[in-house]
Amino acid sequence: MAKKITLPLTKEALRDIRVGDTLLLTGIMYAARDVAHKRMVEALEQGKPLPLDISGQTIYYMGPSPARPGQPIGSAGPTTSGRMDSYSPRLIAEGLKGMIGKGMRSQPVKDAMKEYKAVYLGATGGAGARISKSIKKAEVIAYEDLETEALLHLEVEDFPAIVINDIYGGDLYEEGKAKYEVKT
């Protein structure tokens, strides 16, 4: 049974969700890929403000296909999270609480999640059409020159996700594999 969660993530929600939980997320999230991450971290290093108040927020690693007329967004599935690994710990230290994507994270990202109590959620890769149904509004808020890779503000309703890394150090990829691996 899926847990209904409101975004931005509350402290209670962060404490409550565990590895393997299926979630339905409703509220505000942002979409950014690696180039937008690079720009945000560079801004922080130069002491410049970020284009969003990142404290408590959730970033979805996604660059959509173009929206058809009348639609808020096109296909909108997750991209590979590993490309954000070198930037995520800095953003987590800055207050980022949720990340949504697909694929493995590096040890420094996992360490940062544990230290700052942030979570990593999985969305189904290749299921961009289905996921697009839960995105009600999408707006470019920065880095428009990056085309599909621009920074987006999203309003979502019942966005489907699964908990990969919780604040307790659990990891679905490791636990799931260990459970079904057949050693010969």
Partner 1 sequence: MLQRQRQTKLAMREIAASKVSEIVSSLFQEACYHLPEDVLTALKQAKEKEKSPVARDALDKMLENVEISSKEQIPLCQDTGAAVVFLELGQEVHIFGGDLYAAVNEGVRQGYNQGYLRKSIVSQPFSARVNTKDNTPTIIYTDIVPGDKLKIAAMPKGAGAENMTKLAMLSPTSGRLGVIDFVVNAVDEAGSNSCPPVIVGVGIGGTVEKAMMLAKRALLRKVGEPHPDSEVTELEEEILRQVNNLGIGAMGYGGTVTALAVHAEVFPCHIASLPVAVNLQCWCARHEEAIL
Residues that bind partner 1 (CB under 8 A): 20, 22, 35, 62-68, 74-77, 79-80, 82, 102-104, 122, 124-133, 147-148, 160, 162, 172-173, 175-184
| Smallest separation, CB 56 to partner 1 (Å) | 26
Residue 108 vs 115, nearer CB to partner 1: 108
- Residue 30, H or E segment: strand 22-31
| Smallest separation, CB 74 to partner 1 (Å) | 6
Residue 116: burial class (beta carbons within 10 Å; 0-12, 13-18, 19+): middle
Residue 12 vs 144, nearer CB to partner 1: 144
Residue 64 contacts residue 148 (beta carbons within 8 Å): yes
Residue 41 contacts residue 64 (beta carbons within 8 Å): no
Residue 26 vs 80, nearer CB to partner 1: 80
β-bridge partners, 14: none
| Smallest separation, CB 55 to partner 1 (Å) | 28
Report the C-alpha gap between 131 and 78 in whole angstroms: 9
